[in-house]
Structure 1
Amino acid sequence: MVMPDHVCPYGIKTLDLLERQGFDVTDVHLETDDETAAFRERWDVETTPQTFVDGELVGTLDDVREFVGKERKDGGGTSYRPVLSLFAITFLMAAGAAWIAEDRWISERTFEWFVAFTMCGLGYLKIRDVESFSTMFLNYDLLARRWVPYSYVYPYAETGAGILMIATVLTWISVPVALFIGSVGAASVVKAVWIDGRELRCACVGGSSDVPLGFVSFTENAAMIAMAIWMGAKHLI
Structure 2
Amino acid sequence: MSHTEKEATLYRMSTAEHQCPYGLKTKHLLKSNGYTVDDQLLTSREETDRFKEKQNVQTTPQVYINDKRIGGYEEVRKHLGKPLPDPDEKSYQPVIALFAMTALLAIAASWLAFGSFLSIQTVEWFISFSMVVLALLKLQDVEAFSTMFLNYDLLAKKWVPYGKIYPFAEGLAGLLMAAEFASVISIPVAFFIGSIGAVSVFKAVYIDKRELKCACVGGSGNVPLGFISLTENIMMVAMAVWMFISMF
Specify if TM > 0.5. Answer: yes
Q: Report the alpha carbon displacement of residue 79 of structure 1 after superposing the two structures with TM.
A: 1.8
- CA shift digits 1:151-205 (9 cap, x unpaired): 1111111010001101111111111111111111112212222222222221111
Quote the residue 1:104 is aligned against: 116
Kindly provide the amino acid, as one letter, of the partner of residue 130 in structure 1: V
Whether the 8 Å contact between 1:116 and 1:163 is mirrored in structure 2 is yes
Q: How many residues align?
A: 236
Secondary structure of the structure 1 residue equivalent to 2:224: coil
What RMSD in Å do the two structures reach over aligned CA positions? 2.1
Separation of aligned partners in 2, 1:2 and 1:88: 37
Superposition TM-score, scaled by structure 2 size: 0.86
- CA shift digits 1:23-56 (9 cap, x unpaired): 1222333344445445556666554323333344
Kindly provide the amino acid, as one letter, of the partner of residue 132 in structure 2: C
Please list every run of 5 or more consecutive structure 2 residues that lacks an aligned counterpart in the other structure.
1-12
Q: Report the alpha carbon displacement of residue 219 of structure 1 after superposing the two structures with TM.
A: 1.0
Q: 1:64 to 1:121 in 2, by over 3 A?
A: same
Separation of aligned partners in 2, 1:23 and 1:113: 48
Separation of aligned partners in 2, 1:45 and 1:150: 49
Superposition TM-score, scaled by structure 1 size: 0.90
Larger CA deviation: 176-185 vs 197-206:
197-206
- Which of 121, 130, 133 lines up with 2:145 in the alignment? 133
Quote the residue 1:215 is aligned against: 227
Larger CA deviation: 8-17 vs 21-30:
21-30
Q: Report the alpha carbon displacement of residue 107 of structure 1 after superposing the two structures with TM.
A: 0.5
Quote the residue 1:14 is aligned against: 26
Alignment of 1:58 onto 2:70 = yes
Secondary structure of the structure 2 residue equivalent to 1:26: strand
Larger CA deviation: 71-80 vs 202-211:
71-80
Alignment of 1:155 onto 2:177 = no
Larger Rg: 2
Quote the residue 1:24 is aligned against: 36
Quote the residue 2:7 is aligned against: none
Separation of aligned partners in 1, 2:212 and 2:51: 39
Q: 1:196 to 1:10 in 2, by over 3 A?
A: same
Larger CA deviation: 173-182 vs 23-32:
23-32
Quote the residue 1:144 is aligned against: 156
Kindly provide the amino acid, as one letter, of the partner of residue 16 in structure 1: H
Kindly provide the amino acid, as one letter, of the partner of residue 138 in structure 2: K
- CA shift digits 1:81-110 (9 cap, x unpaired): 211111111111111111222221101111
Alignment of 1:76 onto 2:76 = no
Kindly provide the amino acid, as one letter, of the partner of residue 134 in structure 2: L
Separation of aligned partners in 2, 1:146 and 1:51: 55
Larger CA deviation: 64-73 vs 110-119:
64-73
Alignment of 1:49 onto 2:61 = yes
Q: 1:53 to 1:74 in 2, by over 3 A?
A: farther
Q: 1:40 to 1:5 in 2, by over 3 A?
A: same
Q: 1:80 to 1:58 in 2, by over 3 A?
A: farther
Secondary structure of the structure 1 residue equivalent to 2:36: coil
Q: Report the alpha carbon displacement of residue 139 of structure 1 after superposing the two structures with TM.
A: 2.0
Separation of aligned partners in 2, 1:199 and 1:35: 49
Quote the residue 2:216 is aligned against: 204
Separation of aligned partners in 2, 1:159 and 1:232: 19
Kindly provide the amino acid, as one letter, of the partner of residue 203 in structure 1: A
Alignment of 1:187 onto 2:202 = no
Quick check: which one's strand share is greater?
2
Kindly provide the amino acid, as one letter, of the partner of residue 114 in structure 1: F
Kindly provide the amino acid, as one letter, of the partner of residue 109 in structure 1: Q
